[in-house]
């Protein structure tokens, strides 16, 4: 077997064919800023495919603005940005830009001695896309081909001048341990099943002076996904909710919630390359199909407009729910009704209160508690990328001792709630509640059975939807509650009745079920005088 490493015949041959140091390249001009050098490097690269193959890349002004923001420097000439987010719809040149920047850090003006350059993706095929683009560029540029050693099988490229190495990585996060990345481009982060690879790469940068992670992706449908965290962080900085973060740059091209998806003005606003190198005709064709085929509508919204939507139809849109989140008055002593949805052993149990409006224009105020066994919190946070652990720290979820739900813990909390508020009745799901109902009755609480079928659930569920759309119900700022609402898929029977489906919903909806039960109690008793003939279902 032949020798491996820098002393092989192939490496020596490569050294002999290196370009002369006397040759000035376009980005070598001293008057250029770092961003200008990066732009000059990218615009020297060839286009490798399509009708413009062989021509030089030409960055549009919006692309130059992104590069200038990422590579802006402080008074010491150091780049401040450490994490950059660029999210925009498909076919707007994300992959080409990511490949060009990776090459810039491998052997261009941003390269460093023995740098480690990575592109990451959720699967092997996605991870290979940036690699193939980089390989094609290198093979078309003699100056690059002379100094690079390409290992196609391993998707690795070595620059023999600086000793820097590029590698394409997929979702096997274990491979990221022990690395010291200088540059990382995460392609389509929204497709990753968890955040482990992202975290392992970003936490390995401590040995580098100016590490950089660039995420280039469409949005995730999951509000708790790491991609959504980054987008929300960028938007909050942009609107002034959070202070500026010099180490973070966010560029978000996305149609806002509630935008008309068929309005071409909306298309242009979130597709900066539309009718340039992004085909307007193709987008019009797909839009016409999406209007007629419901299954394609959310695909169009997500991939063509970069909206945060699910493939399944949601019951309540995030924008509508968020519009009902707001401040609360002091509700101590106020008349309310409770809904209790208990888990069998190992997951969420939920209690919701709904307060009867005291004035005509007052909304229905709701309050919420959730419980989960401490061991299940750890398991779900680790295995299912649901941030139960964070919600527990923020006191949105309470941990019951042990591996299964501790009903005595929940009883103590309900007892305390009953002392603070005028709790008229507690509605409970008759399935699985026998163990706790006798104890609740012993606490002098009025407990009423509430079934989970269409007959019981449909009236308050429809009223819940109506109140949300009319902004006549108020929810607290609670990410666990918001998550439960975002998970709900409803079932409809032949008569048009609806109910939240625990089987069809993608994740837990317990806090929604308890909210509907509590609302039902409040709706039936809006008037102070309650008719004795009311029948509870």
Task: Give tens-digit pLDDT for 298-328.
Answer: 789 989 999 987 545 568 888 889 999 999 9
pLDDT value for 284: 96
Residue 235 in tokens: 């938007």
CATH 1.20.1630.10 fits 329-524, yes or no: no
Q: What are the residue boundaries of the structural domains of the chain, listed by start?
A: 9-61+81-218, 264-311, 329-524
**Percentage of the chain modeled with pLDDT above 90:** 55
At 434, the pLDDT band (50, 70, 90 cuts) reads low
Task: Give tens-digit pLDDT for 28-48.
Answer: 877 899 999 999 999 999 998
DSSP 8-state symbol, 464: H
Using the predicted structure, report yes or no on whether residue 352 has a pLDDT greater than 50. Answer: yes
Q: Please, is 361 exposed, middle or buried when counting C-beta atoms within 10 Å of its C-beta (0-12, 13-18, 19+)?
A: exposed
Q: Which residues pair with 422 in a beta bridge?
A: 335
Task: Give tens-digit pLDDT for 514-536.
Answer: 999 999 999 988 754 433 333 33
Using the predicted structure, report yes or no on whether residue 13 has a pLDDT greater than 70. Answer: no
Q: Which residues pair with 159 in a beta bridge?
A: 148
How far is 99 from 133, CA to CA, in rounded Å? 6
Q: Which residues pair with 274 in a beta bridge?
A: 278
Using the predicted structure, report yes or no on whether residue 287 has a pLDDT greater than 50. Answer: yes
Using the predicted structure, report yes or no on whether residue 293 has a pLDDT greater than 80. Answer: no
Task: Give tens-digit pLDDT for 407-424.
Answer: 888 999 999 999 999 999
pLDDT value for 172: 58
Task: Give tens-digit pLDDT for 60-104.
Answer: 999 999 999 999 999 999 999 999 999 999 999 988 899 999 999
Which H/E stretch holds residue 443? none
How far is 117 from 139, CA to CA, in rounded Å? 19
CB 417 within 8 A of CB 351: yes
Which CATH number is 9-61+81-218 given?
3.40.50.300
* Least confidently predicted of 19-23, 93-97, 102-106, 178-182: 19-23
- The dihedral formed by the CA atoms of 325, 330, 332 and 335, expressed in degrees to the nearest 10: -60
Helix axes 124-140, 94-107, angle to 10 degrees: 60
Task: Give tens-digit pLDDT for 231-254.
Answer: 999 999 999 989 999 999 999 999
HSE-CB of 216 using CA atoms within 13 angstroms: 28
How far is 147 from 192, CA to CA, in rounded Å? 34
How far is 257 from 319, CA to CA, in rounded Å? 6
Q: Where are the alpha helices (DSSP H) in 372-427?
A: 374-383, 388-393, 407-420
Using the predicted structure, report yes or no on whether residue 20 has a pLDDT greater than 70. Answer: no
Q: What is the CA radius of gyration of the chain?
A: 28
Pairing of strands 183-187, 116-120: parallel
* Least confidently predicted of 71-80, 121-130, 262-271, 273-282: 121-130
How far is 27 from 16, CA to CA, in rounded Å? 23
Q: Where are the alpha helices (DSSP H) in 394-453?
A: 407-420, 434-442
Distance of CA 419 to the CA centre of its chain: 39
Using the predicted structure, report yes or no on whether residue 454 has a pLDDT greater than 70. Answer: yes
């Amino acid at each position: 077997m032949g020798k491996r490493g820098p002393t092989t015949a192939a490496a020596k041959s490569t050294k002999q064919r290196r370009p002369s140091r006397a040759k000035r390249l376009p980005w070598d001009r001293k008057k250029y800023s770092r961003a200008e050098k990066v732009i000059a490097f990218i615009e020297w690269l060839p286009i490798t495919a399509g009708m413009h193959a062989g021509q030089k890349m030409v960055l549009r002004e919006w692309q130059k603005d992104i590069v200038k923001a990422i590579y802006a420097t402080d008074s010491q000439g150091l780049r401040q940005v450490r994490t950059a987010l660029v999210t925009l719809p498909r076919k707007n040149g994300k992959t080409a830009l990511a490949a060009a920047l990776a090459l810039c850090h491998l052997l261009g003006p941003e390269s460093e001695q023995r740098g480690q350059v990575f592109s990451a993706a959720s699967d092997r095929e996605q991870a290979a896309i940036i690699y193939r683009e980089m390989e094609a560029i290198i093979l078309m540029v003699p100056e690059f081909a002379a100094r690079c050693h390409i290992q196609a099988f391993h998707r690795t490229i070595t620059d023999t001048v600086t000793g820097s190495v590029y590698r394409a990585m997929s979702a096997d996060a274990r491979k990221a341990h022990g690395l010291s990345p200088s540059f990382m481009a995460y392609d389509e982060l929204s497709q990753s099943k968890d955040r482990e690879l992202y975290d392992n790469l970003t936490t390995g940068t401590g040995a580098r002076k100016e590490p950089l992670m660039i995420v280039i992706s469409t949005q995730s449908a999951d509000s708790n996904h790491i991609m959504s965290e980054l987008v929300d962080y960028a938007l909050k900085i942009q609107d002034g909710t959070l202070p500026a973060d010099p180490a973070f740059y966010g560029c978000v091209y996305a149609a806002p919630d509630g935008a008309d998806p068929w309005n071409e003005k909306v298309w242009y606003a979130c597709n900066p390359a539309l009718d340039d190198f992004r085909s307007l005709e193709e987008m019009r064709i797909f839009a016409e199909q999406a209007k007629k085929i419901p299954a394609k509508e959310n695909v169009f919204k997500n991939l063509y407009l970069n909206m945060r939507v699910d493939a399944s139809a949601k019951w309540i849109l995030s924008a509508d729910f968020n519009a009902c989140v707001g401040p609360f008055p002091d509700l101590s002593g106020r008349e309310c009704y409770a809904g209790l949805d208990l888990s069998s052993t190992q997951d969420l149990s939920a209690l919701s209160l709904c307060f009867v409006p005291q004035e005509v224009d007052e909304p229905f105020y709701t309050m919420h508690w959730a419980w989960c066994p401490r061991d299940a919190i750890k398991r779900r946070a680790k295995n299912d990328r649901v941030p139960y652990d964070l919600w527990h720290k923020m006191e949105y979820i309470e941990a019951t001792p042990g591996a299964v739900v501790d009903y005595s813990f929940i009883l103590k909390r309900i007892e305390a709630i009953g002392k603070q508020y005028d709790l008229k009745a507690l509605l409970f799901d008759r399935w699985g509640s026998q163990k706790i109902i006798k104890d609740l009755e012993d606490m002098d609480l009025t407990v009423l059975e509430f079934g989970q079928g269409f007959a019981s659930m449909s009236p308050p569920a429809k009223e819940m939807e109506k109140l949300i759309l009319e902004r006549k119900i108020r929810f607290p700022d609670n990410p666990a509650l918001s998550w439960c609402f975002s998970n709900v898929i409803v079932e409809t029977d032949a008569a048009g009745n609806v109910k939240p489906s625990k089987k069809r919903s993608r994740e837990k909806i317990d806090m929604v079920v308890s909210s509907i039960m509590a609302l039902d109690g409040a709706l039936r008793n809006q008037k102070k005088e309650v008719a004795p003939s009311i029948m509870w279902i």
